[in-house]
Chain A
């Protein structure tokens, strides 16, 4: 076996060890520093493959810039979309309920659902699957509020639980929204759904 082949096998072993470290760290993904570390490890692994297996380390500098240019385009794309997404989320900021919020809720009871405010919530969070017409693409991406009257035939309490906790049914899984939406927003969006798609 020649020296090059030995080096390739050592690099392969390093890549496997790096993968093992990532998986071990994966147990602690709640921590931002850990998530960043996992992606730094991924970048190092990718660089090892590109530099050594694809020999880019040993090529002329201008050839490296062919790949570098594509990476710069990706970074520019990220820089371009991030402000848009940040703006979108600042219009109705994701709300995480803290103990302090719960205390406020006790002091200040929820207002009755406001369909107008609920419409904004629907247009941001629900429309992607339930669609603007409330039919969920004919009940394929989410519950069809119009075509299946049993959907809105449930009590407010049942529907608010589904919105807060999510639900897995025949169509698929609706994620839980209690992290992204406040209790008031959930009551509002239910008012909007009932007013817009409910039996008239």
Chain B
């Protein structure tokens, strides 16, 4: 059996009409939605009960949050273009686009590190108040997901460079889009609603 035949066989593995890997990804992403959804809803309920948190939220750097939103949206575009390239059999282009996606993650984390540094040096730490506890926990957990996504994307990009694992381009991209979607909600919650 040739190598590409093996790949083909892996791609077609299914019990439902949809490839099993994709179904598993959606189950996994649904569990992420439950984790972040519970956290975000807890924050929303507390935020509505504490109007005075607005004064604390005013200390977050809105311009940095907006810049990072642009970075994540653009890196998501690269990820979906990578999937499109892989679908058309252009694995080298897919690999390059996945590396560009990872680059977006690097920029995002640098900006986030600058924000944390600025906030902590102003005296706002995770234990300063419930608002700052939520802020650091929500953005920190999201940051961990960014690191995990970058790791998976790098692996998929290296595989794609060797014309392997075309499915990984799509699945790691899906994970990255979810990280983007979570940020779409975190941005107005911690930066805009002040």
Contacts and interface: CB of A to CB of B under 8 A. Distances in A.
Interface stretch (A44-52, A113-121, A155-163): A44-52
Interface string B29-71: 1110110011001101110011111111000001000100110
Interface in B170-194: 173-174, 177-178, 180-181, 184-185, 187-188, 191-194
A168 B59 CA distance: 13
Most buried by A among B30, B38, B54, B194: B30
B56 A49 contact: no
A128 interface: yes
B79 A53 contact: yes
A5 B84 contact: yes
A168 B33 CA distance: 36
A54 B174 CA distance: 6
A19 interface: yes
B188 A74 contact: no
Given A29-B192, A50-B177, A81 B55 contact: no
Interface residues of B, number: 63
Interface stretch (B2-10, B123-131, B153-161): B123-131
B77 interface: yes
Contact of B38 (A9, A74, A169): A74
A122 interface: no
Given A53-B177, A175-B52, A177-B52, A78 B41 contact: yes
A90 to B, nearest CB: 11
B184 A46 contact: yes
B41 to A, nearest CB: 4
Contacts of A35: 193
Contacts of B151: none
Nearest to B28: A66
Interface string A12-45: 1001100100110110010000010011011001
A26 B193 CA distance: 7
B162 interface: no
13 contacts: A12-B76, A26-B188, A35-B193, A46-B184, A49-B180, A54-B177, A54-B178, A70-B30, A74-B33, A74-B34, A85-B45, A169-B123, A170-B123
Given A67-B26, A77-B38, A137-B127, 9 more contacts: A29-B54, A38-B192, A50-B181, A60-B16, A60-B17, A78-B44, A173-B124, A174-B129, A175-B131
Interface of B: 16-18, 22-23, 26-27, 29-31, 33-34, 37-38, 41-42, 44-46, 49-56, 62, 66, 69-70, 73-74, 76-77, 79-81, 84, 88, 123-125, 127-132, 173-174, 177-178, 180-181, 184-185, 187-188, 191-194
